[in-house]
Amino acid sequence: MIDTRPARRDWIATARTLSEALPFLQRYDGQTVVIKFGGHAMGDPELMDRFARDVVLMKQCNVQPVIVHGGGPQINKMLEKLSLGAEFVEGLRVTDEPTVKVVEMVLSGAINGEIVSAINRAGGKAVGLSGKDADLIIAEKWLRTVKDPDSQIERALDIGFVGKPTKVNPAILENFLATDFVPVVAPVGAGAARETFNINADTAAGAIAGALAAKRLLLLTDVAGVKNADGEVLTDLTRADAEQLIADGVISGGMIPKTQTALDAISEGVGAAVILDGRQPHAVLLELFTDHGAGTLIKA
């Protein structure tokens, strides 16, 4: 006789999990969640497929996901193949004219298509978009300032075709969200002269989340979240906490634009932002549909 008790226990555990998720499903019913999908998870076929299934599940549960993706590692590989160097200033890629052409090719072409295909394979209906499509993202040159360590004098630094969103036209996204389609957006934008700008994917996701008044902004990355000076992940931060960590230099490098994006999105009316590890299986579902959550939640 076959012992079915282990299988029954698994089924009961699954049913319990679904039951416990009910309040969270109700909380996000009909709500927009903008997800920045980035880091090395995009280069792992298994993690990509898991992420795609999670997105399809969200849509089935009447949560409205919008995906904005990065592609730093893939862009670096292509630049290396073409013998073009890569330089970063405070986490932002210095982008000259040859580089911006490669960035657009990789983001709007290969990576966008891979994510769309993965969601479609999982049973969803995804559509790929560029921030230039229908003037979704209008941008301007982003001039950064750096402080000389000796004189402490600030100077403007031109990092090329790196853009800062000045306007997001959410109508095209709202049209897709009203249907079964999941929009997948490549973070490039158009300038006033129709030039192409490379936009940090976190920044683009935050601007889109603000324009859509999203319930949540999820920034998937390669770290577990924001860490304190001892290297411990902080699960909850207020605006004041985050600003102090930046001022103290605890938050540095590529985590600065992620944290600033979260703060800007909250200022634009986004309910809360979360920085979490996209390599963790089902990180998005853990964050949205469980008490445990994942990563660092930043709120007003």
Going by pLDDT thresholds of 50, 70 and 90, the confidence category of residue 6 is: low
pTM of this prediction? 0.86
Among the residue ranges 61-65, 253-257, 275-279, the one predicted with the least confidence is 253-257
Domains of the chain by start residue, with CATH: 30-292 (3.40.1160.10)
Supply the Cα-derived Rg of the chain in whole angstroms: 20
Going by pLDDT thresholds of 50, 70 and 90, the confidence category of residue 138 is: very high
Choose among 96, 102, 101, 52: nearest CA to 77: 102
- Per DSSP, helices labelled H in 61-153 are 72-81, 97-104, 112-121
187 vs 99: CA distance, rounded Å: 15
Q: What is the mean pLDDT of the chain?
A: 86
From the centroid of its chain, how far is CA 294? Answer: 15
44 vs 57: CA distance, rounded Å: 20
Tens digit of each residue's pLDDT (9 = 90 or more) over 161-211: 889 999 999 999 999 999 999 999 999 999 988 999 999 899 999 999 999
Interval 238-258 mean pLDDT: 88
47 vs 178: CA distance, rounded Å: 28
Q: How many CA atoms lie within 13 A of 78 on its CB side?
A: 18
Q: What are the structure tokens assigned to 15, written together?
A: 């049913």
Q: Which residues, at least 6 apart from 234, have a Cβ–Cβ distance to it below 8 Å?
A: 225, 226, 227, 228, 241, 296
- Residue 149's pLDDT is 65
